Amino acid sequence: MKVGAGNIVDAEGFNYLAEAGADFIKVGIGGGSICITREQKGIGRGQATALIEVAKARDEYFQRTGVYIPICSDGGIVQDYHMSLALAMGADFLMMGRYFARFDESPTKKLLIGGNYVKEYWGEGSNRARNWQRYDMGGKTGMKFEEGVDSYVPYAGKLKDNLEITLGKIKSTMCSCGSTTIAKFKETAKITLVSSTSIIEGGAHDVILKETKTNN
């Protein structure tokens, strides 16, 4: 049986759990779409910064000990390209709760709200999840405050149809970076900071778009 541990956001946390014997380690505090830990408790860190630092610590630990401990990027993934970014930054695998919650196969209700179909989605730290053992403070009063929300995500149809598109985007990104494997992708991809203007420039701009079906 494999035992994972986390969540952590820096090298110190990784090394502590690695020395404790974790088989894999989860990276991310407060970055999930339904997580409000940072708002409620003031702890956490930007997901990209955390992931890059922990990936570096993982590689150094491997060089030092010969033991490779995979890391999971947990939080911050909304668009498909965020998955490629997380892998390029060093993640071995990803948590994708919001992604899968949108599909027919997820075990939540499909509802029509405001003329749009949505699926229910709630956080582990919400009262609805009733995850007392992880989030309460002991005693008999239960959860004293929430670290997650009860929400909806846009309905996206069948998993199979969407997954093929997502995988196609990731593979295309990897090829654009000169790699055909995830291991090679981590080596060939270059991570750089971009400005808000660059983000706007990277999408359609200064044109009048025809109405088309969006891929949420």
Residue 208, in any domain of the structure: no
- Name which of 92, 97, 94 is nearest 107 in CA terms: 97
Estimate to the nearest angstrom the gap between the alpha carbon of 70 and the chain centroid: 15
Residue 9: both structure tokens together: 């956001």
Overall domain count for the chain: 1
Residue 54, in any domain of the structure: yes
Identify the pLDDT of residue 128.
Answer: 78
The CATH number of residue 105's host domain is: 3.20.20.70
Residue 202, in any domain of the structure: no
Residue 212, in any domain of the structure: no
- Please state, in angstroms and rounded to a whole number, the distance separating the CA atoms of residues 154 and 168: 21
Residue 130, in any domain of the structure: yes
Question: At residue 94, does pLDDT exceed 90?
Answer: yes
Residue 207, in any domain of the structure: no
Average pLDDT, the chain: 92
Residue 118, in any domain of the structure: yes
Domain of 14, in residue numbers: 4-197
Is 175 a residue of the active site? no
- Say which amino acid occupies 126: S
- Please state, in angstroms and rounded to a whole number, the distance separating the CA atoms of residues 52 and 63: 17
Identify the pLDDT of residue 99.
Answer: 96
Contact 51, 92 (CB under 8 A): no
- 5-9, 114-118, 147-151: least confidently modelled range: 147-151
Question: At residue 4, does pLDDT exceed 60?
Answer: yes
Is 102 a residue of the active site? no
Residues 45, 102, 134, 175: which is the catalytic one?
134
Question: At residue 109, does pLDDT exceed 60?
Answer: yes
Q: How many residues are there in the chain?
A: 216
Question: How many other CB atoms are found less than 10 A from the CB of residue 178?
Answer: 11
pLDDT bin (cut points 50, 70, 90) of residue 16 is: very high
Residue 205, in any domain of the structure: no
